[in-house]
């Protein structure tokens, strides 16, 4: 038995603090994994499943500890908190060390994401799940109103989880960054561990040294190379110099784990990726006049809006949800913000709230396994069609596997349900078997004049429209109509088994 009852407020505070810290780790897990596997339905499914599995096993083990007499249960829970501190402190370095080998060994995104998540985040969640049953048992046994005490413990856990989620999402990640956030969580676990051991009258040199080691490891993580140049509210952003000649700089923007554009300071009208080259050229080929108006779904490194400004096109509006992306484009990619109207909001909301009509709308939201599903549905394409002029065109890039093409077929089928003309463009060079291929879909009232064009990307490449009969067959045999109610784009774009 515990010599003197522990105040309920202290038990409630401990439970709330541990619960908050554990949810901070869960939210931070998404940001930590993004530079390696992107942010997708697969990523969050794996994180939630692994963290809940850890909590569940931790609660079970905590229930076993709660069967012991009070001081022993508290002491072992204190050691569990030391374990939580150590595994949280090493999470960032561990992820950096194993991400490459794991993803090389497991090509399928689901398995790669799941194994990474399990390896890095299961143990912190397990140890964080241990205190709840122990604290609840002590609260019930040592207070005159056990029902109220138990309710207070459950409530504190829920409130702590809410607080941790809000703190991580709205404050810690964008203001402190990943490493410092994990250091704060580690310190929280260390304080909890020492308090548990103090209440058990078992505070000794060994747990103190282990706690100091956890704090030291968290500090060392702060000195580790950061995977992000900028951690914005939405993404891990990197700006990489890929110049072959320092006097003629070329830079690459990486958002989470994928390249989203390259730009050269001295040749702003040259696109350095296939999808940008096709979007830029097709927009100007299909435009009804030279000073055409344009709307961009996503800014990326702003290479195309920058080129359009130099071509002397008409009004340019960019809907880029992340201000951090725009700031990086201005700072590192030579984009002049005065040359476009920039809306830092979701593109669908931007189009819904503004009834202006555009000659060209460009969608550049398709990446790897992370595609915003609400930007590829029939309802969204109907909104896009309502914002186009009579001769206007909608262009969007799609990336799919050469021997799969289910995502390409589904987007094309969905566009064909809205637009009279749907074309699929790609590089005329034959792809390797099983390779990922970049396509651009052009949709509007009329087809493009001409079936191919040649532009630098940055070397000169020829792009052509796929045969209409092939496109029709692809839509009929592999396409799924995507709607707001049913848009399984993550599954459709997945790697072949």
Q: Which two tokens stand for residue 193?
A: 């561990």
Please tell me the pTM assigned to this model.
Answer: 0.83
Q: Distance (Å, rounded) from C-alpha 23 to C-alpha 56?
A: 14
Q: Distance (Å, rounded) from C-alpha 116 to C-alpha 47?
A: 10
Q: Distance (Å, rounded) from C-alpha 375 to C-alpha 322?
A: 16
Return the pLDDT at 260.
82
Bridge partners (DSSP) listed for residue 452: 464
Q: Which CATH number fits domain 8-227: 3.30.70, 2.50.20, 3.40.630, 1.20.1250?
A: 1.20.1250
Work out the angle between the directed axes of helices 8-37 and 178-199 (0-180°, nearest 10): 150
Q: Distance (Å, rounded) from C-alpha 346 to C-alpha 382?
A: 17
The ranges assigned to domains in the chain are: 8-227, 236-492
> 447: Cβ–Cβ under 8 A, 6 or more apart, which residues?
421, 423
Query: CB of 489 within 8 A of CB of 479?
Result: no
159-197, pLDDT tens digit by residue?
999 999 999 988 898 888 899 999 999 999 999 999 999
DSSP label at 172? I
Antiparallel, parallel or unpaired: β 316-319 and 294-297: parallel
230-262, pLDDT tens digit by residue?
888 888 889 999 998 989 999 999 888 777 889
Return the pLDDT at 42.
82
* Domain covering 236-492 in this structure, CATH number: 3.40.50.150
Strand order across the 388-401 sheet: 341-343, 316-319, 294-297, 358-363, 388-401, 436-444, 421-427, 460-465, 452-456
Q: Distance (Å, rounded) from C-alpha 320 to C-alpha 315?
A: 16
Bridge partners (DSSP) listed for residue 362: 296, 395
Q: Distance (Å, rounded) from C-alpha 441 to C-alpha 412?
A: 7
Return the pLDDT at 62.
96
Query: CB of 132 within 8 A of CB of 62?
Result: yes
Residue ranges of the chain with per-residue pLDDT less than 70:
1-3, 366-370, 494-497
Q: Quick check: helix, strand or coil at residue 97?
A: helix
Q: How far is CA 459 from CA 146, 271, 415, in A?
A: 75, 9, 31
Bridge partners (DSSP) listed for residue 319: 297, 343
Q: Distance (Å, rounded) from C-alpha 249 to C-alpha 251?
A: 7
């Amino acid at each position: 038995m515990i010599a003197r009852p522990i105040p309920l407020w202290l038990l409630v505070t401990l439970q709330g603090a541990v619960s908050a810290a554990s949810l901070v780790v869960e939210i931070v897990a998404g940001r930590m994994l993004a530079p390696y596997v992107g942010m997708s339905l697969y990523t969050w499914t794996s994180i939630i499943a692994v963290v809940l599995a850890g909590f569940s096993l931790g609660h079970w083990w905590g229930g076993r500890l709660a069967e012991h007499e009070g001081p022993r249960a508290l002491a072992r829970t204190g050691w569990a908190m030391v374990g939580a501190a150590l595994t949280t402190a090493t999470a960032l370095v561990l992820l950096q060390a194993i991400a490459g080998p794991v993803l090389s060994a497991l090509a399928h995104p689901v398995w790669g994401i799941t194994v990474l998540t399990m390896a890095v985040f299961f143990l912190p969640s397990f140890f964080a799940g241990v205190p709840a049953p122990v604290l609840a048992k002590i609260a019930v046994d040592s207070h005159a109103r056990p029902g109220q005490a138990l309710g207070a413990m459950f409530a504190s856990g829920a409130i702590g989880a809410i607080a941790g989620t809000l703190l991580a999402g709205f404050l810690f990640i964008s203001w402190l960054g990943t490493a410092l956030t994990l250091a704060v969580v580690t310190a929280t676990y260390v304080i909890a561990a020492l308090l548990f051991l103090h209440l058990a009258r078992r505070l000794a040199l060994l747990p103190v040294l282990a706690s100091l080691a956890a704090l030291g490891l968290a500090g060392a993580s702060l000195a580790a190379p950061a995977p992000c140049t900028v951690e914005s509210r939405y993404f891990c952003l990197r700006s990489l110099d890929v110049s072959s000649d320092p006097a003629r700089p070329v830079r690459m923007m990486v958002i989470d784990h994928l390249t989203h554009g390259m730009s050269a300071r001295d040749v702003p009208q040259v696109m350095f990726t296939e999808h940008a080259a096709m979007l830029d050229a097709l927009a100007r080929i299909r435009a009804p006049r030279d000073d055409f108006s344009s709307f961009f779904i996503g800014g990326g490194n702003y290479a195309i809006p920058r080129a359009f400004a130099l071509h002397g096109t008409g009004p340019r509006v960019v809907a880029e949800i992340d201000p951090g992306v725009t700031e990086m484009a201005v700072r590192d990619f030579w984009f002049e913000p005065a040359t476009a109207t920039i809306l830092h909001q979701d593109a669908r909301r931007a189009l819904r709230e503004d009834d202006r009509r555009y000659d060209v709308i460009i969608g550049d939201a398709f990446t790897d396994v992370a595609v915003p599903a609400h930007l590829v549905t029939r309802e969204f394409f109907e909104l896009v069609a309502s914002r186009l002029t009579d001769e206007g065109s909608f262009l969007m890039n799609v990336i799919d596997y050469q021997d799969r093409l289910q995502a390409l077929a589904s987007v094309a089928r969905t566009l064909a349900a809205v637009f009279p003309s749907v074309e699929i463009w790609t590089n005329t060079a034959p792809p390797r078997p099983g390779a990922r291929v970049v396509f651009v879909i052009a949709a509007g009232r009329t087809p493009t004049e001409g079936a191919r064009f040649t532009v630098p990307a940055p070397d000169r490449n020829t792009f052509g429209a796929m045969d209409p009969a092939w496109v029709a067959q692809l839509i009929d045999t592999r396409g799924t109509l995507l709607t707001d109610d049913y848009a399984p784009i993550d599954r459709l774009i997945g790697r072949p088994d």
